[in-house]
Amino acid sequence: MTSTPGGHARTERVGPRAVGEPLPLEVEQGVPLDMMLTRAGSRAGLRGILPARPLAAWAAALARRPVTVAKRGRDLTTEIIDIVAGHGPPLPRDRRFNDRAWTENGAYRRWAQTHLAIHSTARLLLQDAELDERTESMLRLLIDNAASAASPSNTLLNPAAVKEAFDTGGVSLWRGLRNLLDDMSAAPRIPTMVDRSAFTVGEDVAATPGTVVQRHEMYELIEYTPTTPQVRATPLLMVPPMINKYYALDLAPGRSVVEHLVGAGHRVFVISWRNPTAQHASWGLDAYVGAVLAAVGAVLDVTRSPRTSLWGTCSGGIIAAVTAAHLASRGQDLVASLALTVTLLDQDVQGATGALLDPDQARRAIRRSARRGFLDGASLAELFAWLRPDDLVWNYWVSNYLMGRQPPAFDLLFWNADSTRLTAALHRDFIDLAIHNRLLNPGSLTVRDGPVDLGDIEVDSFVVAGKADHITPWRTCYRSTRMLGGRCEFVLSNSGHVAAMVNPPGNPRAEFQHGTSTPEDPEEFLAQATTVSGSWWPAYVEWLDSRSGDLVPAPSQPGSDAYPPLHPAPGTYVHAT
């Protein structure tokens, strides 16, 4: 093992690999990003994600500790006796048990207390086994999912469901059964989280005025209409993820970062990725970097600017960073600044997400997507849901099926349900990046006939992460500040993965930590960072202003001679299913 600039351990550097080469058989530990794609689409829920080997290791470790196991058993028995006698501990704050019956009715209270006691004992037995971190993380995910599934609140005896059935004369049960059958009839086979009929793309979401000025085989380039008499001379090109549609960047009016940036006087361009099919299976990392290079060329032609700023989100952030490194290695000074939101460049992630990448599963996943030509985004959505089952599965199970209610109308969940496919080649390349953590090792990855070194990116960077992010953990996102060559500022939002990005001003609960100094230890950053109430968007605007040149008259027409207006925003690719 060696030490990285960020002070964390890593595997020895592997040899360079050009994108598109076969994945070596000797895969090492790595970690997902959209790399949880590894197992997505294989089986429903967590089946197949947690193989028998960790369970066998846990059983063997406990078999070597019979005294400890016996003590845990005695402690649990004593606790259950206390619970039955009415002397159990008070129920913790848990929205599953919000109904008054869980605390005021003795039978319900004892049921919930017993469930929590068993879950706690299983967790303690896992700690007692003293397994390696990866195995323990996998088993913790299994234990927590099993406990979530077995929660008393998920049964028809849930007091809220009983009351609803009584109040509606049983109609709620019929509605719930109908909702269940509808959801189980097609992927992703998890409870519906949103009323999809409540939104129309281009009207309620993706509604900021703009024009498609380039239609590439892989994307449409949208130029947004200025709303200020003057704009910054240096434009901004935004690179969204490849899973789900681009309009997380242009959500509902008042909740759109695109709208916010345009209103602040910036010329904003966004890539709207095409939803690929099997015929596009060969589009890999090389092709997507080439697509961003083509978009950069179009933006510079339209704006007559020598440089553009880049913004990348999640997997789009990886593509944006690799593109910037590629340009820097060629001596092409085309990037003015770089923003990365909820993006993992160093993919050595611990915990539940890091536990999901298994070498054998990786090879099987690559073969599956190669046969189909793509990875289905609906299956990925299912996997993400099982990483937070209480919030993303069982909460809606109770509401939709036990209570017989329709899901709410929420723009962010509507976007989340609007999934896309990932090409087989990009799936393969992303898994390779994760397994070998290639971006951490300069020269390990070759793109467009050149080695990639993120240290070549010497422009200033603005890195954003979410404190509650379960997909791209913030401490891992923070390591990007140690990998990029320029001066970095780091922002830590108090939100989760998507909400960290969709963070409009006006939310009284929003806050973030911001620092211009990025020490190696993320905890040191946290100790010295400034805590700011509200959205981080204005902080980014201020940062971007100083790196975007002078104010110039806003253009009266979109596009240019080489890139004429083609279609009103949000274009045509966003509507493809």
Catalytic amino acids?
A: 314
What distance in Å separates the CA atoms of residue 238 and residue 249, rounded to the nearest whole number?
Answer: 8
DSSP-derived 3-state class of residue 450? strand
- Cβ atoms of residues 577 and 377 within 8 Å: no
Residue 343: other Cβ atoms inside 10 A: 25
147's enclosing H/E stretch is helix 133-149
- Cβ atoms of residues 347 and 434 within 8 Å: yes
DSSP-derived 3-state class of residue 75? helix
Provide the 8-state DSSP code for 288: H
Residue 577: other Cβ atoms inside 10 A: 7
Environment class of residue 516 by beta-carbon count within 10 Å: exposed (0-12), middle (13-18) or buried (19+)? Answer: exposed
Name beta bridge partners: 488. Answer: 461
Would you say the C-alpha torsion 247, 249, 253, 258 has a positive or negative sign? negative
SS3 content of the chain, % helix, strand, coil (to 5): 45, 15, 40
What distance in Å separates the CA atoms of residue 379 and residue 212, rounded to the nearest whole number?
Answer: 30
* DSSP string for 191-257: ---S-GGG--BTTTBS-S-EEEEEE-SSEEEEEEPP-SSEEESS-EEEE--SSS-GGGTT-STTS-H
Environment class of residue 360 by beta-carbon count within 10 Å: exposed (0-12), middle (13-18) or buried (19+)? Answer: exposed
Beta-carbon contacts of 211 under 8 Å, excluding residues fewer than 6 positions away, are: 222, 223, 225, 558, 559, 565, 566, 567, 568, 569
What distance in Å separates the CA atoms of residue 204 and residue 478, rounded to the nearest whole number?
Answer: 34
